[in-house]
């Protein structure tokens, strides 16, 4: 077997190559930033980033006997392409949203570094333990990169944000906190799984950086992750940890009731500002603006009205853009459930939403192979963004979670088939012995 060793740390073989590919895919923002320094950004840096991402997958072709059954990825891509084609056939008025503006499909859907391709990079790895190990290694690198981003923004006093095609200076970064959720979930999972303080510290750093550099939305993901983590590991917790969680919850409740949330936030805010740092999320909490919906209510009302008028089969791909684009320049409705119902209609969209809810509960809490459920839970934390912001078309975590669910189903089916085959073989041996007797 062909095996190369780099510094005795990285072993290059047919098992590790897809893991390296997944790591490079998740690190593509950092890789693009590095190439941008060399090539000044733009298309050249993007091409080199894509080449680096796909080199491990291309190298896999040189290993004889390595068969990766990812035909479902090609089926998925064909179905998505057909969906857009059929939509455009019935809705030529979507031309601007399909081919122009900030989110043309050739750039944000079908370019090989985009989110749908997360399905391929997760599906190509067959062992869930390999995925978890890859996620842990990648999380270290991402934490360093995100920390650098935050420190740079704090030093200059602003984030550079490209939301309308023009670079603007913002006091926070909309994507920073949401991107950080993956890192937080990975370290939080390993902290609970391996019971190591080191991972809790890294998870805490991640949460702190989300508060300092991100928007308020990711805090929902932080809260949901805490609940999922307790539900997932409660039976495995030793008594000391259970007592600690109960005591900590009671202590937090006493602080909240006795001192008041506003006073606590003022203390935190004063400490942060004494260090020359500001947090938009804490400032909004103090000013009572945390519940401001940024025009979300109007968007949701319009989306619900579209669903009522869309019939059984909806408006097709990018269906919300044509109408909601008149309210918000991004066009999408900032809620995955509403977006699916608009695109696919009440019938297919409703079935998909119910199936998605059922599958999520089943794999996270009742999976026959726990590791697949754990990976899904980690990705689900990032998917929580889609309940408040973004579009499922632009979510790596959504398509990665779909791939994990497919891999889990195939693994269970394969295991069941092997058990049946083994049972048949044992029954055949018993019959032969009875005839011989």
Closest CA to 411 of 129, 128, 134: 128
**pTM assigned to the model:** 0.85
pLDDT of residue 294: 63
User: In whole angstroms, how large is the CA radius of gyration of the chain?
Assistant: 24
Closest CA to 105 of 121, 85, 133, 129: 85
Whether residue 23 is predicted with pLDDT greater than 80 in this model: the reply is yes
pLDDT of residue 31: 95
What is the mean predicted confidence (pLDDT) over 134-162?
Answer: 88
Other beta carbons within 10 angstroms of residue 115's beta carbon come to 20
Confidence of residue 279 (pLDDT cuts 50, 70, 90): low
pLDDT of residue 102: 77
Q: How far apart are the first and last CA of the chain?
A: 47
Strand partners, 5: 11
pLDDT of residue 157: 77
Q: Tokens 């985009």 — which residue?
A: 114
Whether residue 261 is predicted with pLDDT greater than 50 in this model: the reply is no
Q: Are 402 and 360 in contact (CB under 8 A)?
A: no
Alpha carbons 353 and 302: distance in angstroms, whole number: 20
Confidence of residue 8 (pLDDT cuts 50, 70, 90): very low
Q: What is the pLDDT of residues 50-70, one digit of tens each?
A: 999 999 998 887 765 556 678
Q: Tokens 């970064």 — which residue?
A: 173
Confidence of residue 258 (pLDDT cuts 50, 70, 90): low
pLDDT of residue 60: 85
Confidence of residue 159 (pLDDT cuts 50, 70, 90): confident
The helix-helix angle for 396-436 and 336-365 (nearest 10°) equals 40
Residue-averaged pLDDT of the chain: 83
Whether residue 265 is predicted with pLDDT greater than 90 in this model: the reply is no
What is the mean predicted confidence (pLDDT) over 380-388?
Answer: 93
Q: Are 407 and 391 in contact (CB under 8 A)?
A: no
What is the mean predicted confidence (pLDDT) over 284-312?
Answer: 73
pLDDT of residue 414: 83
Query: Is 4 or 231 the better-scoring residue by pLDDT?
Result: 231
């Amino acid at each position: 077997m062909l095996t190369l060793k780099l510094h005795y740390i990285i072993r290059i073989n047919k098992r590790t190559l897809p893991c390296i590919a997944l790591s490079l895919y998740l690190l593509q923002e950092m890789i693009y930033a590095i190439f941008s320094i060399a090539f000044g950004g733009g298309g050249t840096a993007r091409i080199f980033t894509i080449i680096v991402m796909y080199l491990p997958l291309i190298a896999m072709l040189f290993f004889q006997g390595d068969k990766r059954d990812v035909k479902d990825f090609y089926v998925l891509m064909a179905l998505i392409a057909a969906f857009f084609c059929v939509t455009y056939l019935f809705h030529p008025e979507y031309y601007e949203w399909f081919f122009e503006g900030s989110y043309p499909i050739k750039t944000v859907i079908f370019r090989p570094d985009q989110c749908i391709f997360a399905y391929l990079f997760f599906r190509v790895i067959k062992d869930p333990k390999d995925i978890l190990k890859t996620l842990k290694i990648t999380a270290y690198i991402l934490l360093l990169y995100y920390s650098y981003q935050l420190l740079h923004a704090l030093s200059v006093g602003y984030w550079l944000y490209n939301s309308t095609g023009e670079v603007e200076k913002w006091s926070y970064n909309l994507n920073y906190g949401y991107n950080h959720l993956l890192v937080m979930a990975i370290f939080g999972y390993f902290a609970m799984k391996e019971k190591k303080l080191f991972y809790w510290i890294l998870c805490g750093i991640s949460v702190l950086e989300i508060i300092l550099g991100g928007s308020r939305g990711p805090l929902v993901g932080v809260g949901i992750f805490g609940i999922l983590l307790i539900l997932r590991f409660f039976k495995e917790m030793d008594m000391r940890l259970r007592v600690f969680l109960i005591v900590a919850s009671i202590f937090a409740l006493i602080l909240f009731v006795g001192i008041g949330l506003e006073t606590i936030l003022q203390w935190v805010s004063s400490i942060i500002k004494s260090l020359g740092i500001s947090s938009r999320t804490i400032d909004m909490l103090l000013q009572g603006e945390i519940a401001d919906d940024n025009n979300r209510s109007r968007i949701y009302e319009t989306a619900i009205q579209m669903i009522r008028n869309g019939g059984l089969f909806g408006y097709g791909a990018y269906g919300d853009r044509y109408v909601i684009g008149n309210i918000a320049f991004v066009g999408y409705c900032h809620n995955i459930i509403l977006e699916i119902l608009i695109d696919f209609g009440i019938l297919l969209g409703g079935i998909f939403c119910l199936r998605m809810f059922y599958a999520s509960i089943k794999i996270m809490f009742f999976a026959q192979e726990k590791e697949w459920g754990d990976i899904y839970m980690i990705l689900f934390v990032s998917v929580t963004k889609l309940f408040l912001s973004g579009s499922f078309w632009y979510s790596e975590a959504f398509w990665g979670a779909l791939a994990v669910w497919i891999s889990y189903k195939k693994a269970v089916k394969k295991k069941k088939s092997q058990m049946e085959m083994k049972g048949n073989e044992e029954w055949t041996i018993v019959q032969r012995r009875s005839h011989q007797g």
